[in-house]
Amino acid sequence: MSIRTEEMVLNMGPQHPSTHGVLRLELTLDGEIIIKVVPHIGYLHRCFEKHCEVITYPQVIPYTDRMDYLAAMGNEFGYVIGVEKLLGIQVPERVEYIRVIMAELQRIASHLIAIGTYGADIGAVTPFLYCFRDREKILSLFEITCGARLLYNYIWIGGLSHDLHPDFIRLTKEFIKEFKSNLRELNNLLTYNRIFIDRTANVGILPLETAINFGITGPMLRASGLKWDLRRDDTYSVYNKFDFDIPVGEGKMGTVGDSWDRYYVRVLEIEESLKIIKQAINSIPDGDVTSAIPKKIKPPVGHIYSRVENPRGELGYFIISDGSTSPFRVKVRAPSFVNLQIMDELCRGHLVADVIAILGSVDIVLGEVDR
Amino acid sequence: MKSFEEIAEIIRTNFSDIQIEIKSVVKFEPFLVISSDKIDKICLYLRDYPELCFDSLVNLSAVDDFNGTKVKDEQGNETMTGGTMSVYYHLESIKFRHKILLKVITDKDNPNINSVVSVWNSANWHEREAFDLFGITFNNHPDLRRILMPYDWEFGHPLKKDYQNPEFYQGMKIPY
């Protein structure tokens, strides 16, 4: 005898602890099986792009901080590179090194949140606290550098707002030393935890071709098996001077491109970032970090698409200049915005509980999705 | 890896009946101008032609060019009539590592462009965003709804240069 079943629509969010912000997922269910997922976004929309059109180029920088608020350094970096290309400025070597150090520290901090909250979403609360403990140390490093802990306004067009604190290099070296053993602890606690693997391996498998067609970038794309990292493939700043690997998903615990792979790529990327920081602080040149900041910022007519590898993927700024002191148009290609589209594709056929596991592995920041 | 000129030449020889303009007067990035009803065909060709293989749409951005003629109404307020809107497509081939920028120009009063969702799924939300914020209609788009603004927003498309903020939304005063 077969029992007649009916489809049910269930709203997850906007106020749901594991949607990482205000995101509403409209789930269509058959029993506990997902048939369709429709993400509804826009709850944090503040029309960043409209703001940019009425403020001057340097004034845009604090606004970029507030998009992906977990990786503010990366956001500033991408925007500033674009404007510098429009202006044709060459920045001093020391500035580039400091920018890379900051961007990589930020990547570690951001991945720590991704990893920690991912564990917490699935039910492992302890690693979450460990991750926040380590992230706190990175935030203190930022604090002695520029006074702010989350939203920095540190990377300026043509330079930086402050030079490094005299203690910065010593403290960073201490942090790296301490953090390495913490990372081992984290791996034992979460990465190779049997329960964690059971919840994430073979869940939400993303084949490479689908990923490319959906424009997926960042750790998600690499977890599907493609060695693609803008730091190497479309190199910017001084990344070509450093030696680092690009980790890709190998399907160690299940299939290539599953949630565990996406998680594990982030863990490996933290180690690579540590490598870059180590090389950078050992070879940082001397110089003045404010010497190349232009007095008047008025780029010539033209347009530019500049992009950087942010912790969540490719962050692109399409800037159009009409020759005045404020941009004519700024379009942001936010990695989370593009990556979130894949939810329906990934969740179909899984259980409701897996939606949380998949959403956590996509790792979105709603401030950036909605802009 | 192919240069911009080589890619442009391939498109030219294969689409001789379509008007394609190459512009590099603007500094920095050269681009191809393509008519709005042919963009989907050209994109499909660019994706599937084995020597080009543009498998990824990196970015799609709409722009209000704000180039119409200024008209003064009876109260002396200046308004803009006519003009164009443009959509820029940044394409990239992950296989060959070459890039190209396409531009489609459409009429501002009735913006209308063929959708490229059938070519790249990543265009879906980008086009919805362009529809939401600029009012550009993408023909054959599977799900053309507002995305960032509320679904019941009836005061137009905010990224247009001549957009006016409403005073009230659902009975609530909007302070500025």
Shortest CA distance from A345: residue in chain B: B121
Dist CA B122 CA B143 (whole Å) = 13
Read off the pLDDT band of B169 (50, 70, 90).
confident
Burial (0-12, 13-18, 19+ Cβ within 10 Å), A275: middle
Model pLDDT, residue A123: 84
Read off the pLDDT band of B21 (50, 70, 90).
low
DSSP bridge partners of A27: A10, A37
Report the 10 Å Cβ neighbour count for A192: 12
Threshold 0.90, pTM exceeds: no
For the stretch A159-173, pLDDT in tens is: 888 888 888 899 999
Chain B residues lying within 8 Å of A300, measured CB to CB: 27
Tell me if B122 and A45 make a contact (CB, 8 A cut-off): no
Q: H-helix or E-strand containing B22?
A: strand B20-23
Q: What is the ipTM of this complex?
A: 0.86
Model pLDDT, residue B176: 65
Evaluate if residue B25 carries a pLDDT over 60. Answer: no
Read off the pLDDT band of B70 (50, 70, 90).
confident
Q: List the beta strands (DSSP E) in B65-133.
A: 69-72, 78-81, 84-92, 99-107, 112-114
Model pLDDT, residue B19: 62
For the stretch A90-143, pLDDT in tens is: 888 889 999 999 999 999 999 999 898 888 888 888 888 998 999 999 999 999
Amino acid type, A105: L
Please tell me the distance in Å from B27's CA to the nearest CA on chain A.
5
Dist CA A287 CA A163 (whole Å) = 10
Read off the pLDDT band of B17 (50, 70, 90).
low
Dist CA B86 CA A290 (whole Å) = 37
Nearest to B88 among A215, A216, A318 (CB): A318
SS3 content of chain B, % helix, strand, coil (to 5): 20, 30, 50
Model pLDDT, residue B171: 84
Token pair for residue A305?
Answer: 């698409």
Evaluate if residue B47 carries a pLDDT over 70. Answer: yes
Chain B residues lying within 8 Å of A370, measured CB to CB: 148
Model pLDDT, residue B172: 86
Model pLDDT, residue A231: 87
Burial (0-12, 13-18, 19+ Cβ within 10 Å), A230: buried
Confirm or reject contact between A214 and chain B (CB < 8 A).
yes
Mean per-residue pLDDT pooled into runs of 10, chain A (371 residues):
80 78 87 89 87 89 89 90 88 90 91 90 87 90 89 88 88 90 87 87 88 89 88 86 88 85 90 90 86 85 88 90 88 90 88 88 87 82
Burial (0-12, 13-18, 19+ Cβ within 10 Å), A3: exposed
Chain B residues lying within 8 Å of A215, measured CB to CB: 56-58, 120-122
Dist CA A218 CA A313 (whole Å) = 3
Please tell me the distance in Å from A45's CA to the nearest CA on chain B.
6
Nearest to A318 among B61, B64, B147 (CB): B61
Confirm or reject contact between A76 and chain B (CB < 8 A).
no
Model pLDDT, residue A139: 92
Mutate to test the interface with B, among A331, A345, A364 (most CBs of B within 10 A): A331
Model pLDDT, residue B165: 81
Amino acid type, A113: I
Model pLDDT, residue B135: 87
Between B128 and A15, whose confidence is greater? B128
Q: H-helix or E-strand containing A179?
A: helix A168-186
How many residue pairs from chains A and B have C-beta atoms closer than 8 A? 90
Evaluate if residue B26 carries a pLDDT over 60. Answer: no
Say which residue the tokens 């010497």 belong to: A291
Confirm or reject contact between B37 and chain A (CB < 8 A).
no
Burial (0-12, 13-18, 19+ Cβ within 10 Å), A330: buried
Nearest to B28 among A47, A213, A302 (CB): A302
Model pLDDT, residue B175: 78
Say which residue the tokens 């606690």 belong to: A189
The answer to whether the bond into B50 is cis (omega within 30° of 0) is no
Mean pLDDT of all residues in chain B? 82
Model pLDDT, residue A3: 76
Burial (0-12, 13-18, 19+ Cβ within 10 Å), A161: middle
Read off the pLDDT band of B20 (50, 70, 90).
low
Q: List the beta strands (DSSP E) in B29-74.
A: 31-34, 56-64, 69-72
Question: Contact at 8 Å (CB) between B56 and A230?
Answer: no
Dist CA A111 CA A272 (whole Å) = 12
Nearest to B29 among A47, A305, A333 (CB): A305
Dist CA A66 CA A332 (whole Å) = 13
Dist CA B20 CA B30 (whole Å) = 13
Q: Three-state SS for A268? A: helix
Nearest to A301 among B26, B29, B101 (CB): B26
Model pLDDT, residue A290: 84
